[in-house]
Amino acid sequence: MKKLSVIAAGGILLLTLAGCSAPVSNSTSTPDPEATSSQGATDPDYTFPEVDGECVDGTALVSADASSSIITIGDCENVVIEASNSKVIVGAVTNLTVNSSISLVVAASVEHITFGGEGNRVVTSGEPVVEGDLESNTVNAE
C-alpha cells in the first residue's frame, strides 16, 4: 500500500511540473538602437538636471516638480523633500523631512530626520534622531 502511495505522489508531481514549462524563443532579432536611445535615463547621454534650492525664512521645500534631479541647498534649519528619485545635497540642517521615494540625501549635518517615504538614504555625519520607516529607509554616518 505504501508503494502505491509513493507512485501516486510521484505521478502527481510529474503532472504538476509538466504544467510549469515555458515556451523557449529561438529568436535572434536585435533591438532597434533608435528605439532604445530615446528612453530618457536609459540613454547613456542623459544627464539629470541640476537645481539650486532656496532656504526661505529657515525652510527649504524641494517639491515633486524637482523629481529626477540633483538639488543643492546650503545650510537651512528645515528641509522638506517631496521630489522622488533625486539626489539632494544640503549643508547643516536641524530638521530634515523626507517624503519622497528612492532619493539620496547627502547632508553636512542633521539633528533630526523624519521619513515619510520609502527607499531613501541619508548620508550625514554624526547620529541624528530618526523617526519613521527605518525598514525601507537608511541613515549612514560618514
Per-residue model confidence as pLDDT tens digits over 69-88: 888 999 999 999 998 899 99
Does this model's pTM top 0.75?
Answer: no
pLDDT < 50 positions in the chain: 2-39
* Confidence at residue 52, expressed as pLDDT on a 0 to 100 scale: 78
Can you tell me the distance from the alpha carbon of 76 to that of 69, in angstroms, rounded to the nearest whole number? 19
Give me the residue label for grid cell 501516486. 8
* Confidence at residue 42, expressed as pLDDT on a 0 to 100 scale: 67
